[in-house]
Chains A and B, each alone.
Chain A
Amino acid sequence: MQYYAVVLLVYFGTDLLAIWGLNLEFGVAGVANLGFIVLIAVGAYTYAVLTLGPSSSNGAFQNYIIGAHLPPAAALVIAVAVGALAGAVLGLTGLRRVRQDYQALVLLVSAILASTIVSASPRIFNGDQGLALVPPPVDTAHPWRYVAVVAIICLATYPILRRFSGGPFGRALRAMRENEDTAIAIGKNVVALRIVVQAVGGALGSLSGALLIGFIGAWSPSAWQYLETLALLTAVIIGGTANDGGVLIGTALIPVLLLQGVQFLPSIPRHPGLSADLSTILFSAITIAFLFVRPQGLIPERRRRYAVPSSQEPTQALRDFALRLGRPEETKAVDDRLMRIAGLRRSFGGVRAVDDVSLSIAAGLVTGLIGPNGAGKSTLINLVSGTLSPDAGSIGFRHRDVTHVPAFRRARIGLVRTFQLAHEFGSLTTLENLLVAAQNQRAEGTAGVLLGSRYWRRQEHANRERGMRLLEIFGLEQQANKRARELSGGQKRALELLRALMVGPRLLLLDEPLAGLSPVLAERMGELFRELARDGMSIVLVEHDLAAIERLCDHVIVMAQGRVLAEGPMAELRQRRDVQDAYLVG
């Protein structure tokens, strides 16, 4: 009985490590790694071939590579490193920004393929027979010592895990999960983030596998078929994604209680495997039910609440500080032509959405972009922001050719866009929506994650102050700790703009920011645009409300049928016949 308790605790511990890894990947970062079991296998095999002696010993009944007979601690560290590498390699499947469910499928298939290859390669890991007689790291006469080892490793891993899943880095991951396009628009390198996450997840999975094989002494392909990932995934989904505490519950419930508890059902004669099969059906059905009814799991993701400083009357100095984002350099643009577009072309199928567009945007002006539906305005915005790539032509920004610069990098150098439909990070709080948009966060770099909060505390605090000041512009400071998805439509639109401002743009591309806003809010926004322009920011405004355009914009560009029809002050354009015709024709 004692030994059974030992087994349960060791399995709980190793499952916990694995599920933490999967939770980081799927729950926090939204990467559905359906091939996660491979990473556990990597850890187990690596540990095995490092701690076993050369394969020719022991009668040469097992064929495997390496066989270095290393001490367990060294083997464990190496196994974790190899796991991180393997995770990163798996992460490369997302290199071309494939759609996420597609990547999930590729990862699933990788797991199938990996076990097929290992089974068929007798010389690498002894094929389908697997490896046996792996030296136990701890004297087997005292199994409780192993429980202690596993417990200590879990406790030591937890704070490291929190550095990735919590703090500003975790915040960036959650933002990426919520809305990838928006995350890119605020300068997050989502491909790199995902690879990092997969590496960390891989390290955790590997650690889990290495500890497990140290305990049970053997491993073979039957232990890591691709469906094994599902038991772990269920624990994440049921326990509560992105919540490390919920993960504990999920781990206890599924691998331990459910899968073990089912064995206690009386066995039915002639159908001895029935209880195992029923438990499989049960946990699968429960998981699907959770996906429907409670996708956030039993214990949902925590809201990060920050203390809201007592509201003081925002002084002008504070506002300026917030808006100007502490940029000490020139506030007035040196070069009038902040952005130059030449010969830009983009087609979809046979339709030329943007047809040889050339124009330039001046600094310090509010430029309007108008035109009937289908004129190509949204496509142009997408091309400029980097969401789409052009078929031909070039885009220059701040003396740089950004035609082939990826979208996230454009955001980082000050080319920021908003979206037509509010693209907030729903499950993050209002304030977090802004915080995540701050640039050059020390906390998001490797050093920041590893060094911990002491390293980035000050900067984070400064960002919070700035975020609060921005919220005050639209009176959202009381909503700071509310989840963004609970805001009203107008509030979300305001947040959209504030988030873009938090990035510290030089050029703001606003896609119909005023549509559907209450007149008061629309007016306030308009005032803000003018104020920002006065400070040297460039704003490009796509709108249908021609009155607002006239009121706010210094310069207006009219597009029709993918081409630039006319440019100039609104009053002038109103008189032109071709502009009027374009709107009628559509």
Chain B
Amino acid sequence: MNAFAQALGFGIASGAIITLGAVGLTVQVGISNVFNVTYGALMTLAAFIAYGLEQRGVSIWAAALCAILTLGVVSVVLNRILIAPLKRRGAGFVGAIIGTVYAGLIIQTLIVVVAGAGVVTYGNHWGPTVTGAGFTFTTIQLGIIGLTVACMVALHLLLTKTLFGRALRATAANENLARACGIRTRRVVDGAWFLTGSMCGAAGVALALTIVSFDFSLGGTFLIYMLSAAVLGGIGQPYGAMIGGLVVGIASQLAAAYSSPVYEDVAAFGILVVVLLTRPRGIFTRRGSLAGLWET
């Protein structure tokens, strides 16, 4: 087995989950101008909701769908009651980000209170392994890659072809102007949070399926990867995050393959810091579908 090809394959598989999460995260930042650090805890919440349903006899796929949709709703609520108000009140961006950090802690602790601190699993849904051209994938990994690709295509179509998508881009570029043009910005923002919340949930369940057995700390370190991917691609740039997710996934797996496993995290973080210090705008400078917020 060629080590490089294998690592590349692993990178693509993990990159798919990172992309799924990072795109949701970056669109949230694009639309609300606030980093939603609760994202990690929300991913964990989705995984546990699916687990809870599955324990009660629901099929894992139906449970996953429920969890994903629930998370869309939870995210809308989170924005309405926490993020938007904090932003408005002059706690400012810093206050909003601090609020989301604490909210994440609350959610994580609630998970422990309700479901305990122990390890849980959906059982092994990996499916048969597929090998080819030096790559090795489990069926579930292929499924997740497929899901991610489908989501990205759907997102692209949504943003470019639908009325909602255009309203979303307008709201992200200039909320006041959009409102003045008659766009129901409140609804658009809600819709955007529902959408990205669902992506967050999907990423959480996908992660749980891949990791097989997990506990309340599921979304913890993963934040580094999603943030890295979002930054690399440019905050607010969903297409950037798609590329970013792949790059971060592959880079970290290659780093782990050619040195010690801890370099997986270091690689992702390194990308984050290097981009930040050299090209904070990310690799996509042209304003994509959503306005970047780099310009002062």
Contacts and interface: CB of A to CB of B under 8 A. Distances in A.
Interface of A: 30, 32, 34, 92-93, 95-96, 98-102, 104-106, 108-110, 112-113, 116-117, 120-121, 181, 227, 230, 233, 237, 271, 273-274, 277-278, 280-281, 284-285, 287-288, 291-292, 295, 348-349, 387-388
Contacts of A95: 277
A380 to B, nearest CB: 16
Nearest to A426: B90
A105 B97 contact: yes
B280 A348 contact: no
Interface stretch (B133-141, B175-183, B244-252, B268-276): B268-276
A291 B95 contact: yes
B258 interface: no
Nearest to B106: A284
A273 B269 CA distance: 33
B266 A113 contact: yes
Contact of A291 (B91, B235, B277): B91
Contact of B221 (A100, A112, A271, A295): A112
Contacts of A285: 102, 106
A117 B266 CA distance: 8
B265 A288 contact: no
B271 to A, nearest CB: 11
Contact of A34 (B91, B101, B286): B101
Contact of B37 (A92, A105, A295): A105
B85 A230 contact: no
A288 B103 contact: yes
Contacts of A110: 269
A288 B102 contact: yes
A102 to B, nearest CB: 7
Contacts of A104: 94, 97-98
A291 B262 contact: no
Nearest to A120: B262
Contacts of B273: 93, 106
Interface in B90-126: 90-91, 93-99, 101-103, 105-106, 109-110, 112-113, 117
A96 B280 CA distance: 8
Given A95-B277, A112-B223, A106 B272 contact: yes
A108 B101 contact: yes
A548 B294 CA distance: 36
A398 B109 CA distance: 61
B105 A101 contact: no
B35 interface: yes
A73 to B, nearest CB: 35
Contacts of B131: none
Interface residues of B, number: 48
B184 to A, nearest CB: 26
A410 B99 CA distance: 37
B96 to A, nearest CB: 7
Given A96-B277, A106-B273, A292 B101 contact: no
Contacts of A32: 94, 97-98
B170 interface: no
A30 B94 contact: yes
9 contacts: A34-B98, A92-B277, A105-B227, A106-B276, A227-B105, A230-B102, A273-B117, A291-B98, A295-B95
A154 B135 CA distance: 60
Question: Which one of A32, A96, A102, A116 has the greatest number of beta carbons of chain B within 10 Å?
Answer: A102
B265 A98 contact: no
B3 interface: no
B86 interface: yes
B34 interface: yes
A96 B282 CA distance: 13
Interface of B: 34-35, 37, 82, 85-86, 89-91, 93-99, 101-103, 105-106, 109-110, 112-113, 117, 220-221, 223-224, 227, 235, 260-262, 265-266, 269, 272-273, 276-277, 280, 286-287, 293, 295-296
Contact of B265 (A93, A102, A113): A113
A101 B296 contact: no
B36 to A, nearest CB: 10
Which 3 pairs, one residue from A and one from B, show the smallest C-beta to C-beta distance?
A120-B262, A101-B93, A284-B102
Contacts of B85: 292
B8 to A, nearest CB: 24
Given A34-B101, A112-B220, A291-B95, A93 B276 contact: yes
Contacts of B98: 32, 34, 104, 233, 237, 287, 291
B266 A101 contact: no
A493 to B, nearest CB: 21
Contacts of A106: 272-273, 276
Contacts of A101: 34-35, 93-94, 96-97
A99 B93 contact: yes
Contact of B89 (A274, A287, A292): A292
Contact of B227 (A109, A181, A230): A109
Contact of B106 (A116, A117, A281, A387): A281
B86 A102 contact: no
A277 B287 CA distance: 44
Given A32-B97, A387-B296, A98 B280 contact: yes
Contact of A277 (B97, B109, B266, B295): B109
B91 A292 contact: yes
A282 B291 CA distance: 38
A388 B89 CA distance: 28
Given A101-B94, A281-B109, A108 B37 contact: yes
B84 to A, nearest CB: 12
Contacts of A227: 105
A119 to B, nearest CB: 8
Nearest to A31: B94
A230 B108 CA distance: 14
Contacts of B103: 284, 288
Give the residue among B34, B109, B273 with the most A Cβ atoms within 10 A: B109
Given A98-B280, A230-B101, 16 more contacts: A101-B34, A102-B35, A106-B272, A108-B37, A109-B223, A109-B269, A109-B272, A113-B269, A227-B105, A284-B102, A284-B103, A284-B105, A287-B102, A291-B99, A295-B89, A388-B296
Nearest to B286: A349
A349 B86 CA distance: 31
Contacts of A233: 98
A371 to B, nearest CB: 21
Identify the interface centre among B101, B261, B262: most chain A CB within 10 Å of its CB.
B101
Contacts of B235: 102
B35 A105 contact: yes
A233 B99 CA distance: 11
